């Protein structure tokens, strides 16, 4: 048996480690993306209306997160907060970091679309007695989500890929599993090929979700076909 076959046999024998890392990555990415989207929508809602000091502070916070590398943000949560008396588990720090960081990006994506959204449908909703919160949930948010689905899909993929940074703070996700296998058996090529293939599989799933949202938008008349 040549070296290549031996390496792939080792990868097969280590499939349990890859499966566990893959499952953790799916759980982290799905949970973080859901929370991040909700946070983004909440921040967008808080930014609605006339400018005031609180909204300026919120916009500054969003801009600050967008300018900060994600890895540094996670380092601050995991290694920096204990100096202030707050200690998070690696998993919790990773999840909180992903949710807050990408929530800022979701808010900015939706805010950009909100600035160019035609006012007619919202004015009609107010004329029919809709309150601000109900109009935002029933009129504004669905239009923004459907019109920005491509950019939101890209952000979901970025969130998925950012889970790989969490191996630095000992979260046992997919990259950590691949790194553990290659460090033990010194087969980096095969180990990371498997990791890349699994990330690719998840990204294809996200793209399928975006296409489903596109079909929903077409049925609801937000676009043609």
Give Rg (Cα) of the chain. 21
Convert the pLDDT of each residue in 123-171 to its tens digit: 787 787 788 888 888 888 988 998 899 899 999 999 999 999 999 999 9
Write down the pLDDT at residue 50. 86
CB atoms within 10 A of CB 195: 24
Write down the pLDDT at residue 117. 87
CB atoms within 10 A of CB 162: 21
CB 141 within 8 A of CB 122: no
* Tokens representing residue 7 in the block: 């390496």
* pTM greater than 0.85 (yes/no): yes
pLDDT at 96 over 90: yes
Convert the pLDDT of each residue in 24-82 to its tens digit: 999 999 999 999 999 999 999 999 888 899 999 999 999 999 999 999 999 999 999 99
Q: Which domains does the chain have, with CATH numbers?
A: 16-119+147-215 (1.10.3720.10)
3-state secondary structure of 218: helix
pLDDT at 19 over 90: yes
Lowest mean pLDDT among 7-11, 49-53, 203-207: 49-53
Query: In 3D, which of 134, 141, 137 has the Cα closest to residue 114?
Result: 141
3-state secondary structure of 213: helix
CB atoms within 10 A of CB 168: 15
Write down the pLDDT at residue 131. 84
Cα distances (Å, whole numbers) of residue 154 to 94, 105, 129, 210: 20, 11, 36, 9
């Amino acid at each position: 048996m040549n070296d290549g076959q031996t390496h792939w046999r080792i990868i097969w024998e280590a499939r349990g480690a890859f499966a566990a890392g893959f499952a953790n990555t799916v759980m982290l990415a799905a949970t973080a993306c859901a929370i991040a989207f909700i946070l983004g929508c909440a921040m967008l809602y808080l930014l609605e209306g006339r400018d005031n000091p609180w909204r300026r502070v919120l916009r500054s916070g969003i801009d600050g997160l967008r300018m900060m590398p994600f890895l540094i943000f996670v380092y601050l949560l995991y290694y920096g907060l204990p100096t202030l008396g707050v200690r998070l588990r690696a998993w919790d720090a990773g999840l909180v970091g992903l949710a807050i960081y990408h929530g800022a990006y979701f808010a900015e994506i939706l805010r950009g679309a909100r600035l160019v959204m035609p006012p007619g449908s919202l004015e009609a909703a107010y004329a029919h007695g809709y309150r601000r919160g109900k109009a935002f949930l029933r009129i504004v948010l669905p239009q923004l989500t459907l019109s920005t689905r491509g950019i939101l899909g890209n952000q979901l993929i970025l969130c998925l890929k950012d889970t790989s940074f969490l191996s630095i703070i000992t979260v046992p996700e997919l990259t950590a599993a691949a790194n553990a296998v290659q460090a033990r058996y010194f087969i980096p090529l095969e180990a990371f090929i498997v990791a890349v293939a699994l990330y690719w599989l998840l990204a294809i799933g996200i793209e399928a979700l975006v296409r489903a949202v596109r079909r929903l938008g077409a049925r609801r008349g937000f676009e043609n076909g």
